[in-house]
Chains A and B, each alone.
Chain A
Amino acid sequence: MHEMGLALEIIDIATASIPADLAGTRVERINLTVGKLSAVVPESLRFCFQVASRETAVEGAELHIEEVPVVARCKQCRHEWTIDEPVFRCPACDATTIEVVSGRELDIRSIELEDKEEKGQ
């Protein structure tokens, strides 16, 4: 539902990340990591990006989304595990003081630009 806002942020960040000497180069891919605990629907994000990126420097870029599992660590016994079900309690010692180590990511890792030299030479 808020994917349009996220798509606009992605367009801004990716556009600003194109080095000045490569301005005008087509952006082929934008690599994202999205944690499974984040409230993002990848399909909606792709759709919004496709619509919102028209006539921008990143038009036509593919959004490559790597989903990151929810991993938690127990603060008591240091046990670390992947949360597949919505239970935030240590399966080893039953403690409730746990920290979520990963799963909340919503990051742009990199952008990939078209290699003009490949074609031009």
Chain B
Amino acid sequence: MPFSLFRTVIRRHHDHGRPHHHPHDHSHEDHETVRSGAGREIKVVRRVLDANDRMAQANRRLFAAHNIFVLNVMSSPGSGKTTVLMRTLGQLMPDLRCAVIVGDICSTLDADRLSVSGAPVVQVNTDEFGGDCHLAAHVIERAAAELPLDDLDVLIVENVGNLVCPAEFDIGEDRRVVILSTTEGEEKPIKYPLMFRLCQATLLNKIDLLPYLDYDRQLALRNIRQIQPDMSIFELSAKTGEGFDPWIAWLRSQIAAKRGTAKG
């Protein structure tokens, strides 16, 4: 039987066809007095993240209007996001105008590091938003208002270090990339399938450490492909720069595909 995403499960208030744990007992006389056919059940059928999804679409329209390619970079804490971005910005910025929105629960340490690149950087501290473990679409909207959108080609969002929550929140990006490092263990894709399922590329960072680690590289690659067979995978070291060329080439091709001709 086909399993539709939009199947409707309507539960009546007095539905006796399922086990229920009402704290109070209804007698069947009570049941008879219910006059409304709906049994006071109000159908809603809305995505819990509806508000976020709508804001993400608004962001997407805003970025498209300015012909800006948006990359959402996610990973666990300590995988090397900021170092990867430093080197990535260095290779894009001669000819592409880049900006960064960086999310952390607190501190401006990452923004301080990234601003060395010369790109405009907006640090978002989510402790203002309840210490959130991800960047939501409305946070990106506010941060984007701080940026000179007319003068940008690429916006990179360094999400909060976390492999769980950022996966659920569309921010209006064009591409999603997850960074996995060789010090994290090979099984991460299996433990966090949604993240790896939704990303188009994985950067396997810190390959310079492989000689010193008991790390099964092939197993890590197999695990990634098990979750997302079409994943583009780039093995690299943000520290030495090894393996960066294919990643930058891929990223440039994605940017060109979105933007077509450069803005004048």
Contact = CB atoms under 8 A, between A and B. Distances in A.
A33 B9 contact: yes
Contacts of A23: none
A79 interface: no
Contact of B2 (A22, A80, A105, A106): A80
Which of B9, B26, B40, B194 is the most central at the interface, judged by chain A CB atoms within 10 Å of its CB? B40
A87 B133 CA distance: 27
Nearest to B8: A109
Contacts of A114: 40
Nearest to B134: A2
Contacts of A96: 229-230
A107 B45 contact: yes
A110 B47 contact: no
Contact of A86 (B5, B35, B130, B193): B193
Contact of B46 (A37, A40, A104, A107): A107
B234 to A, nearest CB: 19
A76 interface: no
A96 B224 CA distance: 13
Given A13-B44, A17-B42, A4 B130 contact: yes
B213 interface: no
B42 A6 contact: no
Interface residues of B, number: 50
Given A96-B229, A96-B230, A107 B193 contact: no
A110 B197 contact: no
Interface in A91-121: 96-97, 100-102, 104-115, 117-118, 121
B33 interface: yes
Contact of A31 (B11, B50, B162): B11
Contacts of B219: none
Contacts of B40: 22, 25, 112-115
A87 B226 CA distance: 5
Q: How large is the interface on A (under 10, 10 to 19, 20 to 34, 35 or more residues)?
A: 35 or more
Interface stretch (B60-68, B164-172, B173-181): B164-172
A107 B229 contact: no
B103 to A, nearest CB: 13
A25 B36 CA distance: 15
Given A86-B226, A88-B229, A112 B13 contact: yes
B167 A39 contact: yes
Interface string A1-39: 110111001101110011100100100100111000111
Interface of A: 1-2, 4-6, 9-10, 12-14, 17-19, 22, 25, 28, 31-33, 37-40, 64, 66, 71, 80, 86-89, 96-97, 100-102, 104-115, 117-118, 121
Given A86-B226, A101-B4, A106-B49, 20 more contacts: A1-B133, A1-B162, A2-B132, A4-B130, A6-B49, A22-B40, A33-B9, A38-B168, A66-B9, A89-B229, A102-B4, A107-B45, A109-B45, A110-B10, A110-B41, A110-B43, A115-B40, A117-B33, A117-B35, A118-B26
14 contacts: A1-B164, A2-B168, A6-B49, A10-B48, A38-B194, A39-B164, A86-B189, A88-B197, A88-B228, A109-B10, A110-B42, A112-B11, A112-B42, A113-B40
